[in-house]
Amino acid sequence: MIQLSYSQINRDLLKTMEPPGKLYYAILALDLAVLAWGIYAWTYQFRTGMGVTGLNNPVGWGIYIATFVFWIGIAHSGTLISAILFLFRCRWRNPIYRTAEAMTVFAVMTAALYPIIHLGRPWLFYWLLPYQQRGHFWINFRSPLVMDVFAVATYFIVSAAFFFTGLVPDLAVVRDKAVGWRKRFYTFLAQGWEGTDREWRHYSSAYLLLAALATPLVISVHSIVSWDFALAIVPGWHSTIFAPYFVAGAIHSGLAMVLTILIPLRRIFRLETYITPAHLENLAKLIILTGLIMGYSYGTEFSIAWYGGNIFEQATFRYRAVGDYAVAFWIMAVANSVVPLLFIVKKIRMSVPWLFGLSLVINVGMWCERFVIIVASLAHDHIPFAWGFYRPSWVELSVVAGTFAWFFLWFLLFAKFLPVVSITEVKELVEPPLTGGVDP
Amino acid sequence: MSRGSRELLGIFTHLDALLQAIHQLRDAGYRDAGVFSPVPRHEVEEALSRGPGPVRHFTLIGAILGATTGFVLTIATSLHYPLITGGKPIVSIPPFLVIVFELTILFGALATILGMLLNIRLPRLKLRPDYDPRFSEDRFGLWVRCQEDQIEAAQRILHSCRADEVSMVSLEEKRPRLRRAGRFILGVLVILLGVVVALAYLLPRLPTTSDMARQPSIKPQEHPLLPPPNSVPVQGKERRMELLEASEKLRNPVKATPASVEHGRESFQIYCTPCHGPDAKGKGPIAKKLKTPPDNLTEESAVEQTDGYVYTVIGQGGTTMPPQAEGLPPRDRWDVVNYLRGLQREAGAR
Amino acid sequence: MSYQERRGELPVTPRLLPRGLLRLLWVLLGAGVLTFLLEATGPNRLRAWQIFLVNFLFWSGMAQGGLVFAAVYDVVRARWGGAVKHLAQGLGAFLPVSFVLFFLLLAGRQVLFPWVNQPIPEKQAWLNTPFLFARDGIGLSILYGLGLASLYYSLRVDLGRSVTHRGDSLPRISALFSRGWRGLEEEQRRSRRVLAILLPIFLFTYATVFSLIGFDLVMALDPSWYSTLFGAYFFVSSFYLGLAAIAIIAVLARRRLGLEEQIGRRQFHDLGKLIFGFCLVAGDFFWSQFVVIWYGNLPEETAYLILRGYEMPWAPLTWTVLLVSFIIPFLLLLSRRVKESPRTLLPIALLILIGMWIERYILVVPSLWHRTGLPLGWIELLITGGFLAAVALSYSAFLSAFPVPPVSGVSHRSAGLPRSDEPGRSSYTER
């Protein structure tokens, strides 16, 4: 880390919160427009019924659930960067962890919309909560969908708590520099943080403990989401590798999304000194690793499908490769396991345009993977009599677009109301001011 | 904080100067001291030699509470209303372990945050009087509290360690606002708890009914909602025709191209062969179990029927034959007709 | 200032094992070999061969785990325990032996592999002797080759440092390593360049080849059963038991070799954290397989688990594994104090190793042993002892040839100000 003084860091990183220009408002307006369109589409579905979607027999889970899994996956690498890399003492995570953790919180908030969106009677969503219903029975704790409720709720609460905890010292920084209504706002948010040794001590302790708790949580959440599929005996779903395969895939797509977000962010806010090419390169290297895991998983599933001799399993794999959804399948196979290997070439992973472009490709590939796993298996189940075809309707596509807008809306607000790079943690990276050293 | 005690605040720019001051103050016996800093520094912690914090105990207790809650919630409720789902045991430990795991982490994390907040006495509405906004930017602060007579010596130490500023701070009495904030938070928590309890009590008592006569379905003389396009039936709408009418009026719109015949063959194999057999002679694997044997479709009587007749029978069914309209869209049915004609020709030719 | 001057007098290449123990190990090795040779063709040949396979998998996994640890350590550019890394590398000395022993499995194939005498037509293309031994043999050659190659490049530099800093004299075998020595700086640079390419390939090869070994040598023993996660579970649990072995060696070797400075609380804490972490990962992989099979309740999948978890005589062993390898280490390793102290870390690591040996046993033997009773007696004890002796002896030979290199810079925590060459540390890292 190059030598920067604390006050320089303060100045640079607080600049991101200055009143925005026209471009920001233009993007915000576009985002709100897409969001409004998505809300309209969903209320249409709400009033008219699920028939306006393409969902039917046999494919009852379509792009709503695919995108749900996609968003939960994205959330995972935020926690990887903020919690797991913290436990491994990777210093390079410091400037990027705030954005990554924000991505986690917003991604979980986006994903949490889907269990309600995809319900036929959304006003009954509270039936998923653990309470005693009429007739003295409770929710079915054996169901992986109920496990989902616990997992996603826990993940949201813990991530939000972790996110906010890490924010507090920075909020104090903002508070001390703010004036007017902002000062009151951030004074409230900063909760009275003063940076005493006592506060830092307990804060550091809590931070470490939260990171240690978040790590198994992250692995469990996407494992549980994968078990939504693996615990059923649908061919193509019932596979023991699903849990680690989904977790690796989640981190894979999440890292790509972090790149997609960080690259414009650092450009717009001129944070190139803080989010250096080395950071992006490290993310790219992690993507190579997760890409290899994806390739391993695809290879293993395919090989064991043959080895196991289960004709339904074999038929499903054949259908995926050459059937109705073959295009999505091949996008998935190439974008997730072959394209990341391009990052082995140093020139590619040091080039910002390449990083951005490939991160988009990987995200598309990962979404396609969720889609293929869910839809192709449902469309082509055990009995040929029950085979069908699913195509998403305009309602579904609009709602999905709306949820993407929802995610980016929170990001736009985050960028202006909170410091996108953790001021305190960047200060921890540089040399402290010593007599005879760098002058603050 | 007793009467007669004073507080001294030194502001430092450089970390090593601060550490030096801390060491000297501790050596001189000043115990009631603390540091403001913009970042956590382990050197400061070590210099002040405080032990590992108590926050981790909160975590442990929270985790144990979570695990217990998980077990009790899942096992007690399953036993309260034993319902077999999926053929699994009433007390199914594997899925319950997952719930336990999640609750362990949830309660552990919340307890950690609670522990942290309690220990640093946050949230607080008002800052300390000795707080300087520069402490969040780039300055360190060292405060020391001592009796009136020890102030001089402390001041000298701070100056000798090259503090930028040294000032006396007036101490207030125990801040009542601290208590107020604490009570406020507690009040909010109690209200939240009350809301949760109230909900748990009220929700099951919502005016739902288990009287199955009261349904949200369409009643006689009520106007139904039209089904959304493409929802019912599976593909497109079709006018239902009587068999006689269809037999005379319905013409085959699909030319018997090789593609159509091939597609018809596939559909025939899926939908028709169980009863009619692969050669359409009525000797499918199910045929021997049926009281009324399926028709031999290559017989004269079947060959004579029009395309429209065959199409309608496929879609609407026959005396024993179930309707195949759900699985075979209209287009596919015509393809089956085309294929069947081909089969009939072959059988007739032989 | 040379290392020696700084450290005072230090015995050059102290012996890890006292002479008496070495002699005992040779006897143990002899006994094991003899028992195996005698029983492998007799009426007890199934017992001999199955325990041979169990031990082959266990000890090769451990040996490989040592190299994998060293590789990961270098790939992530860790700096907390160079001495521990070297001690881990020593486990790789068993690999050439393991390689030979793999081909010895050919001799026992009719006893071990059910598909040899009763080929399964659908799987015959995959499960036949020539193809299986060819692919696994080639896989192991590549894997072991890569491992030993990375060991070579790593040891070269370490040896150079030992000679440069301590004036160590090299036994003959290590002299081979220092052929064409170009000076410490140049060698370090070259080694880093080569390893930057070699190590990631080695790690990926480990994952794939060990998965293959898991599928071929363990899962295929019950050819009607399959689990897609089995390969990954196999290589992860092998690494887990390798870590436990490294911890045991670190504790035992520390005193004998005078490594107290280099292996202290910080190193044990980190090792303990790694073991804790992989306890969770291996446990998670174990669980992922269990929960999917439990839910699906498909007889072709559950038979494997029911046999091991609910039928005698295997059930007590399975539950022992669960308790001893996963639950107890998880609970105990939560505490920082337990991780940091060699006195507490050693028994836990030992428990894990014993548990994982039983785990390998419970994976292999129930698929093969269809008679009554539990095949665990003198034959098993002596053959296992022989393997243990082989590993210990090869390890000892390694350490004699390649002493633990001195560490450049001091590894314990700074008591005062941060130094310019230290990565800036915050209070987080000291906990």
pLDDT, residue A135, reads 67
Cα C354 to Cα A129, A429, B46, C320, C381, distances in angstroms: 44, 43, 40, 10, 13
* Amino acid letter, residue B99: I
Whether A278 has a pLDDT exceeding 70, the answer reads yes
pLDDT band of C136, cuts 50, 70, 90: very high
Task: Determine whether the interchain pair C424/A430 forms a contact, defined as Cβ–Cβ distance below 8 Å.
Answer: yes
Return the percent helix, strand and coil in chain C, to nearest 5: 75, 0, 25
Instruction: Tell me if C102 sits within 8 A of C56, measured CB to CB.
Output: yes
pLDDT, residue C186, reads 83
pLDDT band of A150, cuts 50, 70, 90: very high
Instruction: Tell me if B210 sits within 8 A of B304, measured CB to CB.
Output: no
DSSP A138-182: ---TTSHHHHHHHHHHHHHHHHHHHHHHHHHHHHHHHHHH--THH
pLDDT band of B210, cuts 50, 70, 90: low
C contact residues 219-248, partner A, Cβ 8 Å cutoff: 226-232
Question: How many beta-carbon pairs below 8 A join chains B and C?
Answer: 31
Count H helices and E strands in chain B, helices first. Answer: 12, 4
Residue B279 structure tokens? 């050669």
Cα B189 to Cα A192, B192, B269, C109, distances in angstroms: 19, 5, 66, 68
Residue C149 in contact with partner chain A when CB distance is under 8 A = no
Instruction: Tell me if A408 sits within 8 A of A8, measured CB to CB.
Output: no
Instruction: Tell me if A376 sits within 8 A of A239, measured CB to CB.
Output: no
Mutation pick from A124, A137, A141 vs chain B, by most beta carbons of B within 10 Å, is A141
* Element at C141 (helix H, strand E): helix C129-161
Residue B84 in contact with partner chain C when CB distance is under 8 A = no
How far apart CA A335 and CA C99 sit, in angstroms, is 37
Considering only residues B229 and C84, tell me which one the structure prediction assigns the higher pLDDT: C84
Instruction: Tell me if A234 sits within 8 A of A179, measured CB to CB.
Output: no
Chain C contact set for B19 (CB, 8 A)? 416-417
Task: Determine whether the interchain pair A86/C428 forms a contact, defined as Cβ–Cβ distance below 8 Å.
Answer: yes
CA angle, residues C250, C252, C257, in degrees to nearest 5: 85
pLDDT band of C7, cuts 50, 70, 90: very low
pLDDT band of B229, cuts 50, 70, 90: low
User: Which pLDDT tens digit goes with each residue over B23-56?
Assistant: 888 888 888 888 999 998 888 888 887 777 788 8
Mean pLDDT of chain C: 86
Residue C319 in contact with partner chain B when CB distance is under 8 A = no
Query: In this structure, is the dihedral angle defined by the CA atoms of residues B246, B251, B256 and B259, taken in order, positive or negative?
Result: negative
Residue B11's φ and ψ, nearest 5 degrees, are -110, 130
Residue B168 structure tokens? 């006396």
> What chain C residue is nearest to B56 in terms of C-alpha separation?
C335
Q: What percent of chain A has pLDDT over 90?
A: 72
Any idea how long chain C is? 431
How far apart CA B144 and CA B163 sit, in angstroms, is 13
Query: Looking up tokens 């003899």, which residue turns up?
Result: C34
- Max alpha carbon distance in chain C (Å)? 71
Considering only residues A82 and B230, tell me which one the structure prediction assigns the higher pLDDT: A82
Average pLDDT estimate for B171-175:
56
pLDDT, residue C1, reads 41
Chain B contact set for C290 (CB, 8 A)? 94
How far apart CA A172 and CA A187 sit, in angstroms, is 7
Cα B226 to Cα A51, A53, A368, B217, B223, distances in angstroms: 11, 15, 34, 13, 9
Mutation pick from B18, B41, B97 vs chain C, by most beta carbons of C within 10 Å, is B41
Average pLDDT estimate for C341-351:
93
Residue B285's φ and ψ, nearest 5 degrees, are -60, -30
Mean pLDDT of chain A: 91
Closest CA to C141 of C72, C191, C212: C212
Whether C85 has a pLDDT exceeding 80, the answer reads yes
Closest CA to A248 of A286, A284, A216: A286
Average pLDDT estimate for C409-417:
35
Neighbours of chain B (3+ CB pairs under 8 A): A, C
Average pLDDT estimate for A3-19:
87
User: Which pLDDT tens digit goes with each residue over C360-382?
Assistant: 999 999 999 998 889 999 999 99
Residue B94 in contact with partner chain C when CB distance is under 8 A = yes
Q: What pairing do the DSSP bridges indicate for beta strands B165-169 and B5-12?
A: antiparallel
User: Closest approach of chain C CAs to the CA of B50, in angstroms?
Assistant: 12
Mean pLDDT of chain B: 83
For residues B11, B15, B21 and B22, what is the CA-based torsion angle, rounded to 10 degrees? 110
- CA-based R_g, chain B, Å: 42
Residue A309 in contact with partner chain C when CB distance is under 8 A = yes
How far apart CA B302 and CA B337 sit, in angstroms, is 12
How far apart CA C82 and CA C158 sit, in angstroms, is 10
Considering only residues B327 and A398, tell me which one the structure prediction assigns the higher pLDDT: A398
Query: Looking up tokens 């017992």, which residue turns up?
Result: C47
Query: Looking up tokens 């007590």, which residue turns up?
Result: C316
Closest CA to A316 of A235, A388, A242, A371: A235
How far apart CA B75 and CA B37 sit, in angstroms, is 49
Q: Which residues contact C69 (CB under 8 A, 6 or more apart)?
A: C85, C88, C239, C242, C243, C246
Closest CA to B31 of B145, B120, B169: B145
User: Closest approach of chain C CAs to the CA of A86, in angstroms?
Assistant: 9
Query: In this structure, is the dihedral angle defined by the CA atoms of residues A210, A215, A218 and A221, taken in order, positive or negative?
Result: negative
Q: What percent of chain B has pLDDT over 90?
A: 24
> What chain A residue is nearest to C431 in terms of C-alpha separation?
A205
pLDDT, residue A56, reads 85
B contact residues 30-69, partner C, Cβ 8 Å cutoff: 39-43, 45-46, 52
User: Closest approach of chain A CAs to the CA of C423, in angstroms?
Assistant: 9
Instruction: Tell me if C397 sits within 8 A of C93, measured CB to CB.
Output: yes
- The alpha-helical segments, DSSP class H, found in C162-264 are 172-177, 184-213, 230-256
Least reliable range by pLDDT among A112-126, A269-283, B114-128: B114-128
3-state SS assignment for residue B207: coil
pLDDT, residue B51, reads 75
Chain C contact set for A312 (CB, 8 A)? none
User: Which pLDDT tens digit goes with each residue over C253-272?
Assistant: 888 888 888 888 889 999 99
Residue A199 in contact with partner chain C when CB distance is under 8 A = no
* Chain centroid, CA B341 distance in Å: 54
DSSP B303-317: HHS-HHHHHHHHHH-
* Amino acid letter, residue A51: G
Considering only residues A226 and B235, tell me which one the structure prediction assigns the higher pLDDT: A226
Residue C376 structure tokens? 């665990």
Task: Determine whether the interchain pair A150/B56 forms a contact, defined as Cβ–Cβ distance below 8 Å.
Answer: no
pLDDT, residue C406, reads 76
User: Closest approach of chain A CAs to the CA of B248, in angstroms?
Assistant: 30
Neighbours of chain A (3+ CB pairs under 8 A): B, C
Whether C199 has a pLDDT exceeding 90, the answer reads yes
Whether B218 has a pLDDT exceeding 70, the answer reads yes
How far apart CA C176 and CA B121 sit, in angstroms, is 65
Mutation pick from B14, B90, B112, B134 vs chain A, by most beta carbons of A within 10 Å, is B112
Query: In this structure, is the dihedral angle defined by the CA atoms of residues A225, A230, A231 and A236, taken in order, positive or negative?
Result: positive
Average pLDDT estimate for C134-160:
91
Cα B239 to Cα A52, A77, A113, B255, distances in angstroms: 22, 54, 40, 21
DSSP letter (8 states) at residue C421:
T
Residue C373 structure tokens? 């009773």
pLDDT, residue C418, reads 35
Beta bridge partners of B143: B9, B34
Instruction: Tell me if A14 sits within 8 A of A419, measured CB to CB.
Output: yes
User: Which pLDDT tens digit goes with each residue over C382-395?
Assistant: 999 999 999 999 99
- Predicted-complex ipTM score: 0.93
Whether C236 has a pLDDT exceeding 90, the answer reads yes
Residue A430 in contact with partner chain C when CB distance is under 8 A = yes
Whether C54 has a pLDDT exceeding 50, the answer reads yes
Least reliable range by pLDDT among A346-355, B323-332, C107-116, C346-355: B323-332
How far apart CA C123 and CA A309 sit, in angstroms, is 8
Which residue from B16, B39, B98 is facing C417, i.e. has the nearest CB? B16
Residue B66 structure tokens? 């979570």
Task: Determine whether the interchain pair A147/B98 forms a contact, defined as Cβ–Cβ distance below 8 Å.
Answer: yes
Instruction: Tell me if C171 sits within 8 A of C401, measured CB to CB.
Output: yes
Mutation pick from B22, B23, B41, B42 vs chain C, by most beta carbons of C within 10 Å, is B42
Least reliable range by pLDDT among A41-50, A189-198, C407-416: C407-416
User: Closest approach of chain C CAs to the CA of B63, in angstroms?
Assistant: 12
> What chain C residue is nearest to B94 in terms of C-alpha separation?
C291
Q: Which residues contact B186 (CB under 8 A, 6 or more apart)?
A: none
Provide the terminal-to-terminal Cα distance of chain B, rounded to the nearest Å.
113
Chain B contact set for A137 (CB, 8 A)? 77, 80-81, 83
Which residue from B39, B42, B94 is facing C430, i.e. has the nearest CB? B42
pLDDT, residue C173, reads 64
Least reliable range by pLDDT among A33-42, B143-152, C314-323: B143-152
pLDDT band of B1, cuts 50, 70, 90: very low
Cα C263 to Cα A69, A97, C5, C163, C416, distances in angstroms: 44, 32, 20, 21, 21
Task: Determine whether the interchain pair B94/C291 forms a contact, defined as Cβ–Cβ distance below 8 Å.
Answer: yes
Instruction: Tell me if B279 sits within 8 A of B343, measured CB to CB.
Output: yes
Task: Determine whether the interchain pair A231/C296 forms a contact, defined as Cβ–Cβ distance below 8 Å.
Answer: yes
Query: Looking up tokens 């249409």, which residue turns up?
Result: A44
The number of CA neighbours under 13 Å toward the Cβ of A382 is: 6
Instruction: Tell me if C237 sits within 8 A of C282, measured CB to CB.
Output: yes
B252: left (phi over 0), alpha (psi -120 to 50) or beta: beta
Residue C232 structure tokens? 């990954």
Residue A347 structure tokens? 């020139």
C contact residues 390-429, partner B, Cβ 8 Å cutoff: 415-418, 425-429
Task: Determine whether the interchain pair B92/A142 forms a contact, defined as Cβ–Cβ distance below 8 Å.
Answer: yes
Q: Which residues contact B245 (CB under 8 A, 6 or more apart)?
A: none
Residue B135 structure tokens? 């402490």
User: Closest approach of chain A CAs to the CA of B349, in angstroms?
Assistant: 31
pLDDT band of A374, cuts 50, 70, 90: very high
Q: pTM above the 0.95 mark?
A: no
User: Closest approach of chain C CAs to the CA of B40, in angstroms?
Assistant: 7
Residue C424 structure tokens? 């800036």
Residue A372: is it exposed, middle or buried by C-beta count within 10 angstroms (0-12/13-18/19+)?
A: buried
Considering only residues A132 and A119, tell me which one the structure prediction assigns the higher pLDDT: A119
Task: Determine whether the interchain pair B133/A143 forms a contact, defined as Cβ–Cβ distance below 8 Å.
Answer: no
How far apart CA C288 and CA C281 sit, in angstroms, is 10
